[in-house]
Structure 1
Amino acid sequence: MKNVVILFLSVFLLYSCKNEETFTGDAPNFVLNVETSQLEPVPGTYMYIRGVAQASNSLESVRIKIEDWELDKTITMKSDDIKTYDVDYKFMAPDDVDSEKNAEINVMVTDKAGLQTQYQFFASATGDSSAPEIFANKNIRLQLPEFYEVVSTGATTDFNLEFDAVDEKMLKEISVVCEDINYSKQISVHAMDYHFVDKLSLTESKQYIIGITATDNDGNKVKKELSVMLGLKDYDVMYFADVNTDEELNSDLYGIPMEAVKEGNYIFSATYYNRNANTEVRFLTDETTFTQTTFGLDEKGKLTSGSNTTDVKPVVLPKANQYYKVTLNLIDMTVTAKEVTPPADKYASTVIGLLRGATGWTADKVTWAPANKDVMTKYDENTYLMYIDLEVSAASNNLAFTFTANAWNPYFYFRSAQEPDIIVPMKEGAHANYPYSITQNTTYRFYLDTYASRSWAVPVSASNGE
């Protein structure tokens, strides 16, 4: 396709006195054919202005003028009843055309009543090499969001789609497609920018994907994909639990349920080491109770939600001594468990321990140094997973500690003191300084999983005495 580079500037109506009192029709007009015109000047080569001139009172003339190039051509109609004329004017670009300067092209259409309309274009020696851009607001270059959440208002909910497409030279076409509702609209554009507004009627609580494509005259394209969620609630945080009662949820010191990873809007996952066959797991929105919103399976094995673990069946992880990645997808309304095989543990033979801080322990605090760590026991079948039993004091209300090996390498810190279940391996960070309340000194089993980047602590009596 020819590299047509045209910038539309303005249109002027110029009135003469000739027969003005008899003029009753519309002003004459000219429509440039941007597909076949060639207005990118290359020294010594031909350029073309092609289009259609029209007048309700018949055409008198079409004048083409480029003052910078000393070009002035008037095409006079040979008949008095020509109302439509196909302009096809060829001329040669000057040998000394300035690539840094745009030449102004004026096309003036005059009708038999003496009414004249003037059009202005630019011919540019600089090619159109950049794709169009799509904005929520072109004036402040506000980016168009890729995700929208819409609350359902009835059987049908209208989503107002609005955006601006902009190109440095000229747009050719805007395309908007949403296959979920059989919506498709293509708009021919012959301007530098276009403001799109339309309503899309949504009927189901689901995700809708809207594809937007803007194309310029030189074939450059930009594509945007929008996700619109109707009637579905997203959550800032989600938890993952392998117990069945509220009492068990609150029997640990921290970490059960574990905070899931939010992979995107409406999608959460948890990497979990399944030590025992047929472990039952669920997702929930409140780390202290199942009675808010709990996600699991229904009787037919489909994703469901509820406020208890009786109606919401668990997802069962069948294999013992197996890592799983369990994913909750609220868009597809699915929950999946995929087996994961970790790489060889490069710290399999490294001695890792829990290093106690100043508060929360019944034993005397020792100097804060790796050599004084309490050594953790690694499981033979999975060296990523380890544990240690230590007594926690009822007199304190904060537990300070971290995990480390010799000479502080490797060390496993918590993402923050407020979230001690999530481990950031091999990076300096926050010690756990976890607030708690127990009525008597209790021995807890502290777990560390360096592959799943998780830590948790449960009373020894609840850990099957391992």
Structure 2
Amino acid sequence: MRTRFLKVSLLCAFFAAGVFVTGCSDDNGYSDVDGESPVAVLKTNHIQSGAGHDFTIEGTLTDADGISAIKLECADLYLNKTIDLIEIYGEPKTSYDLSYKFSISKDEVGEQFTVKVTVVDVGGRETSQDVLITMDGDFEAPVFTIAPDKTITVLMKADRNPQYTLNFTVTDDRKLDYATIEIPELTGFETRTVNAEGKSSLTFKEAIVFPNASQVYTINLTAYDAVGNSVATTCNLTVSEMPDFEKMYLADVATDEELNSDVFGVPMVINHTGEYQYKARYYNKAAGTEIFFLPQKTSFTPICFGLDPEDSNKLTDDPETAKPIVLDTPNVYYEIDINVKESTYSIKTYSVSEATNPINYEYGAQCFDVWENGSEFINFYIGWGSSPQDAGNHLFAQDPNNPHLFYYPSEGTWSLSSGEEMNFIISNYHPGGWWDHVEWRCDNSTEIEKFGYYSKKNDVNPNWEGTNMKWEDGSSVQDNWVKPVVANGGNYRFEFDAHLGRGKIVPVN
């Protein structure tokens, strides 16, 4: 500091004989202007952050004599930083805008910390302030755990105006503020604001009546948390006569919550076999299974096909009155045909032994030719993973009553985290990572509904009724890996049916 202010010291010495200059000091080489300590005006003295996140300490620092350094200290966070302004700028600063970002370890378990911010001027005077860092920051946007499908249909009725029960649930890892509902095309419907009252979950359910005329409406839902993070979803609702739905689903659960609790696979997509006609194949594990058919994935409304309470030989589309179709025979496959225009259905069963799948090996038996030259055989297994080697880390267990049905894990629980991104295929295990034997791909990587057999070596059971690398409609199975994002963390089970080409990851206790 003496070296940097040598000129000032010499100037003071020059005037010493005849002129008195206030503030000249021979022992520290600087000129006092006001002799006051620095002034620190911090943006806030309380910052909410969290493990694995950053916090930034900001403020305006001033001192007439010049600021030489800023120190930031917190032993518990291993923070010990000195910002030397003279070293950075070659001179002190009378004014400085502080903005210091610090990253908290993702493994940090502490609940709160105090960072001491000290401003030092060239005269050695200091000003200190404490900034409280608490680990309750809100960085995640809310999530709609239940929301309308992107497209839904509400049927016109001869005796009344059509109505749709809008049902949604939104959650937040901290506190919700409110949600808004907009239906701009619906005359008389004003934008609704639903207050969450600071809770972490908000559920809304209300019937909305529409004119009995063909039209498309837009339903916009937006939810906000307490700090302004938001999430939005949009549904296109069509009021019309009975359409020929592109897709139909079989639901073997009872509530909207269960329809939305899976990673994928619930409800189960079925085949569209003709105009207004659909065919479902379903393995029934236990007597008394109750099923419905839905043209939308996330709710039992506005359309639910079940038994007409006044004529059990017919179907109704009314979710308020539909009765479930009950499957009474266990350990068999059901085949159910429905016609939604004629409101008809038919049911038959076939045995597990009559069902076929593309696997050309005995599961668990030493029958898989490792090097394809007869030199070494290993036990045959399938699993999920990023390679045939990785499949060995996640092997499926075969169901004791149905050789076409597989589970992961074989015992215990499988824990998945909220927001976790998966990326895998279903494959035979091979210790050297050889591909192309027994594999499945999916129809859509992020919206998985079915699995198609995908053996480039055409390694196929000759008795299988399906076609390698082809869907039921004859279109090609593409090399789509399974890449869902886990919405809700918890314990899950992976169930895969090689006969049906259907899989699901569902919660388990």
For normalisation by structure 1, the TM-score amounts to 0.44
Larger relative strand fraction: 1
Structure number with greater Rg is: 1
